[in-house]
Structure 1
Amino acid sequence: MRFPHLIAAAALAVGIGVLPAAAQDAPEPNSRVARNEARLAERLAGRIAGEPVSCIYAPNANRLDTIEGVGFVYDGGGTIYVARPIDPSVLGPNDIVLIQRFSGGQLCKQDIRQTVDRNSGILSGIVAIEGFVPYTKPDEGRS
């Protein structure tokens, strides 16, 4: 009878699929994404995350960094904003991000973000974000 073996194989497959999300989504150690996450953590060291916002005032496009496999970082001076894509894999090593803004000097989660392959010029994906998380330094005057 092969039937019990199929049940065991199915149970194993289901068991693998129920790993905690953090275990499934964690980048491989020493991967490019893990190194990029570490660089972002260094950049945000000493800062406190605030509540996500839908739009940020971002008149200087040269302050927006795209971090491969991680997300977008906008340096607003005293505040650094981080926007993580719903699917970070769309920010690949050969992608260029084009943003079509709808709110003038603001970046908003509703803006259209497309990735284009830098070698072929072909559209390679759409980047959806849930919002921008502000990171600020704690006030030194508070206790």
Structure 2
Amino acid sequence: MPAVSAAEDSPKQDRGEAELAKVLEGRVAGEPVKCLHQSQRDRLQVISGTALVFRDGKTIYVNRTSSPRFISNFDLPVFKPFGSNLCKLDQVEFRDRTMMMPGPVVTLTEFIPYTKVEEPDNGD
């Protein structure tokens, strides 16, 4: 990647990383999983230049994709799973919300689950 392109992406990625850090505050990462069932991916948050975030109850799953710089919360993600689950190596196409024109296609990576850190009971 040329240095100019990396420099142009940097502010967007920095904002995205800061937004993701806020979403994950107070949570710890678990072992990566390869697939999410339908019930685990009902609530989606797209963080531009950074990741796709799926919420399932108390767990948040983060997928940074093969090319996070192409992720945009201004575009509509269209998932193209090979089966009923959404899995690593499935593709996501981002389309313009107004014209529905096809845009970048990214490949999903493993989903990292994050759960809240349990606060120790102080006996109060």
User: Which TM class, normalised by the smaller chain length?
Assistant: 0.7 to 0.9
TM superposition shift of 1:141: 5.8
Partners of 1:117 and 1:97 lie apart in 2 by 9
Contact 1:58 1:76 in 2 (8 A): no
Partners of 1:60 and 1:53 lie apart in 2 by 12
Q: Describe the SS at the equivalent of 2:39.
A: coil
Report which of the two has the higher share of strand: 2
1:113 aligns with 2:113: no
Q: TM-score if structure 2 supplies the norm length?
A: 0.76
Residues 71-93 of structure 1: per-residue CA shift (max 9 Å, x gap): 10011112110000221121135
2:55 equivalent among 71, 75, 83: 75
TM superposition shift of 1:69: 0.8
Partners of 1:92 and 1:121 lie apart in 2 by 14
Which one has the largest radius of gyration?
1
Unaligned runs of 5+ in 1: 1-15, 18-23
Q: How many residues align?
A: 118
Partners of 1:94 and 1:78 lie apart in 2 by 26
Partners of 1:120 and 1:65 lie apart in 2 by 21
Query: How many percent of aligned residue pairs carry the same amino acid?
Result: 35
Partners of 1:123 and 1:77 lie apart in 2 by 32
Report which of the two has the higher share of helix: 1
Instruction: Report what 1:92 is aligned to.
Output: 72
Instruction: Report what 1:33 is aligned to.
Output: 13
Contact 1:79 1:134 in 2 (8 A): yes
Unaligned runs of 5+ in 2: none
Q: TM-score if structure 1 supplies the norm length?
A: 0.67
Q: Describe the SS at the equivalent of 1:35.
A: helix
1:64 aligns with 2:44: yes
